[in-house]
Structure 1
Amino acid sequence: MLSAIQDLMKPPAGMAFDFSQPAGEPALSPADGVSWRIFANPIALFVGGVTAVLLELAEPSVRTGVWDHSSFQRDPQTRLKRTGFAAMMTVYGPRSAAEKLIGHVVRMHGHVQGETPDGTAYHANDPRLLDWVHATAAFGFTEAYHCYAQHLSREEKDASFAEGASSAQLYGAIGAPRSWAEWESLLAATAPGLEGSDILADFMRIMAQAKILPVPLRWLQRLLVRAAVAITPEPVRSLPQLRGQGLRFGEATLVRLLARAAALAPLGDTPPVQAARRLAAAPGA
C-alpha cells in the first residue's frame, strides 16, 4: 500500500533523474532542515499537495491559468507526478539541476496568460500569483506533515517556509512568505478574493475517480483527499464544493497511522535516499 504512494515520488516517464549525482553538490534546501523530513513522507506529500491545489483553485486568476493551461483534466496522474518531481528537485536535487529545471518552468510560464471569466487579465509569472502558489504549497506540505506525520514546533514551521526561499526567488515569487506569521498575513489578505467554482467541484470529482492509485487502493486515494480538505484553512474549507467532504469520525487516526508507518518504512531508491547518497559521497565526507 505504501509502495503505491511512494511510486508517486518517482520521476514520470521520460524524466528519469539520478539524484545521487554529482557527488557532493548541495541542494537548494539544507540537508539537515525540516523540508528534507517533510518531503520524505509520501502520505504528507499527497495530502499536502491536494491541500495546496484546493487553495490555488480558490484564487480566480490562478484557477483559470491552471485549468486552461495544464494537462490535469485529461491526465491527472502524469500531471501530479510532474509536479511532484519538480518539488523533489527543489528540495533534494543538486543545485545546478534544480536551477535548470526552474528556469525551464519560468520560461514555459512566460507563455501562460489570458483572462478570467470576469475579464481580469492574468499572467502566470505575475509575482502576486507566484507568491500565492508557493505559499499554498509550503503551507500544504508543512501542515499535512504536522497534522498527520509528526508534530512541528512553531520554529520548525517557520523553518519550512524559510528553507523554500531560494527556490521561490528563482521562480519569481519574490514576496513568498518566509515564516508561518507571514503565511497567515498573506492568507488574511487574500481571503476576501477566494471563491468556489465549478472547477473546484471538478477537481474534487477527478481526485476521487482518477486512476492515481491502483483500483484496490482507490479507497485510500479518496481518504487522503478528505484528509487534505480537513486541513484546508478557512474560508476555503467552507466553500460549497468542499463543505462536508472532510474526514469522517475516526479517519484522522487512520491517516496518522499511515503517515507514521510511512516514516518508518524503507523508502527504496527514491530522491531523498539518492540525495543523501550524493552528499555522503562528497570529498572528505
Structure 2
Amino acid sequence: MARPSSYLGWKIDYARPPGEPALLDPGSMHWRVYKNPIALAVGGVAAVLLEFAEPRIRSGVWDHSNFKTDPLGRAMRTGTAALIGVYGPASAARRVIQGVTHMHARVSGETPGGEAYRALDPDLLNWVAATAVYGFVTAYDRFVEPLTEAEKSRFYAEAAPVACLYGATTSPGSEAEFMAMLQALTPRFEPHPIVDEFLATIASGRAAPAVPKPLHRALARAAVSLLPPTVRRTLALGREHDLRLAESLALKTGGRLAERIAIKSSPPCQASIRLGLPHDFLYRGEAERRRLLLAASRHRLLAAGK
C-alpha cells in the first residue's frame, strides 16, 4: 500500500476516498503528460527559466523562498503540488491550492530596480501558470512522444480551471496564445546572474548527488532548448548551454522508457485505482484506455442507480 504524500501539513492519499474525482478527468492530456518524470523535470526547469526572465517573479521567488539554498526540495514541493492538482482527490487538491495561495498572500517586496511586486498580482500569476503549461507539454512533445497540435491545445485548455483556482485570470488556450502572451511580456525580460546561478545549481548535481552528474547537465541544457529563441537571447544563454545529441538521445530514451513503467505506488497509478481503473491504466494503448474509461463510467452509473 502506498503511503500518503504530505504537503503543507496535509496528508494526501491518492488512492482514497474511492471514487472521488480529480480536478481533471483521467482521460485528459494532463493525466497522460504528468505521469512522465522526464517531461516534468525538463519542463519544470524550463518553466522556472521563463519565470525568472520576469524581474518581479524572479525577486519574489529568490527573496521569499529557500530556492537558492534548497533548489531540489523547493522543486519537489512545487512538483508535488502540481501532481496533487492533477491526480489528487478534488477536495484535497483544493485544500493544497488554497494553502499555496495563503502563502503567496504574504509575499511582496521590491525588485533591485525598485519595482514593487505582489505574488498575488494576477499578471504574475497568469505568467507563472502559463509557463508551467508550456514547459510540461513542450517537454513531453520533444523528449517523450510527439503530440499533435490538437493534443497540445487540449492540454492548454485543460489547464485553465486549475490556473483559475490559483488566482490566474487568463490562461492561454494554445501554443499560439502562449507565444502572444510571451511577446507582450518580452520587453520586461532581462538577463540576471540569478538565472546563471540557478542553471549552474541544476547542472552541477549538488541538488541530488545520487543522480549521475551528466544527467543533471543534460536536464539543464534540455530545459534551455525549450526556450523560445527570443527568451534565450535575452537571458544571454550562449552556446555552452546547447543540448548535445547524446544528451538528447539519453533523455528521449528515458522518457520513452518511463511511458512503459507503471509504478503501483506512484500518484498516477494510485489515482487510477481510486477511480476504479487498473493501476496501469495510463500505460496502456489509447483504445484500451477508452474502453476502460467507458466501462468505469457505466459501473458508476449502475452503482448510482442502486
Q: TM-score, normalised by structure 2?
A: 0.85
**Corresponding residue for residue 116 of structure 1:** 111
| Cα separation, partners in 2 of 1:202 and 1:105, compared to 1, 3 Å | same
Deviation for aligned residue 1:241:
4.5
CA contact (8 A) 2:12 2:88 kept: no
Distance in 2 between residues matched to 1:163 and 1:66, nearest whole Å: 26
Q: Report the 3-state secondary structure (helix = DSSP H, G, I; strand = E; otherwise coil) of the residue aligned with 2:17.
A: coil
- Which of 125, 130, 138 is matched with 2:125 structurally? 130
1 or 2 for the larger relative contact order (CA 8 Å, sep ≥6)? 1
Q: Report the 3-state secondary structure (helix = DSSP H, G, I; strand = E; otherwise coil) of the residue aligned with 1:264.
A: coil
Deviation for aligned residue 1:266:
2.9
**Corresponding residue for residue 163 of structure 2:** 168
| Cα separation, partners in 2 of 1:15 and 1:46, compared to 1, 3 Å | farther
CA contact (8 A) 1:146 1:152 kept: yes
Distance in 2 between residues matched to 1:108 and 1:166, nearest whole Å: 20
Distance in 2 between residues matched to 1:187 and 1:51, nearest whole Å: 14
Distance in 1 between residues matched to 2:237 and 2:65, nearest whole Å: 22
CA contact (8 A) 1:11 1:82 kept: no
More displaced stretch, 250-259 vs 148-157: 250-259
Unaligned runs of 5+ in 2: 278-295, 301-306
Q: Does 1:180 align with 2:169?
A: no
**Corresponding residue for residue 271 of structure 2:** 275
Distance in 2 between residues matched to 1:11 and 1:158, nearest whole Å: 32
Distance in 2 between residues matched to 1:51 and 1:38, nearest whole Å: 16
CA contact (8 A) 1:228 1:246 kept: no
Q: TM-score, normalised by structure 1?
A: 0.91
Deviation for aligned residue 1:273:
0.5
Please identify the structure whose Cα radius of gyration is greater: 2
More displaced stretch, 198-207 vs 233-242: 233-242
**Corresponding residue for residue 83 of structure 1:** 78
Distance in 2 between residues matched to 1:239 and 1:173, nearest whole Å: 25
CA contact (8 A) 1:76 1:210 kept: no
Q: Does 1:154 align with 2:144?
A: no
- Which of 53, 58, 61 is matched with 1:66 structurally? 61
| Cα separation, partners in 2 of 1:13 and 1:81, compared to 1, 3 Å | farther
- Which of 195, 218, 231 is matched with 1:223 structurally? 218
Deviation for aligned residue 1:234:
2.4
Deviation for aligned residue 1:16:
4.8
| Cα separation, partners in 2 of 1:266 and 1:13, compared to 1, 3 Å | farther
Distance in 1 between residues matched to 2:251 and 2:201, nearest whole Å: 21
Unaligned runs of 5+ in 1: 1-9
Distance in 2 between residues matched to 1:234 and 1:191, nearest whole Å: 11
Instruction: Say how many residue pairs are matched.
Output: 276
**Corresponding residue for residue 261 of structure 1:** 257
Q: Report the 3-state secondary structure (helix = DSSP H, G, I; strand = E; otherwise coil) of the residue aligned with 1:114.
A: strand
Deviation for aligned residue 1:232:
1.2
CA contact (8 A) 2:39 2:136 kept: yes
Q: Report the 3-state secondary structure (helix = DSSP H, G, I; strand = E; otherwise coil) of the residue aligned with 2:12.
A: coil
Give the 5 Å matches for 1:7-46. Answer: 16-46=11-41
Task: Write the deviation string for residues 11-47 of structure 1: whole angstroms up to 9, x where unpaired.
Answer: 6797652101111111111210111111000011000
- Which of 197, 206, 220 is matched with 1:202 structurally? 197
Task: Write the deviation string for residues 71-123 of structure 1: whole angstroms up to 9, x where unpaired.
Answer: 11111121111001000011111111111111111111111001111111110
Deviation for aligned residue 1:240:
5.2
Deviation for aligned residue 1:224:
1.2
Deviation for aligned residue 1:162:
1.1
**Corresponding residue for residue 7 of structure 1:** none
| Cα separation, partners in 2 of 1:218 and 1:37, compared to 1, 3 Å | same
Distance in 2 between residues matched to 1:15 and 1:99, nearest whole Å: 11
| Cα separation, partners in 2 of 1:12 and 1:170, compared to 1, 3 Å | closer
For 1:47, give the aligned amino acid.
Answer: V
Deviation for aligned residue 1:280:
0.8
Task: Write the deviation string for residues 182-227 of structure 1: whole angstroms up to 9, x where unpaired.
Answer: 2121011111211110110110111122444344522212211111
CA contact (8 A) 2:7 2:96 kept: no
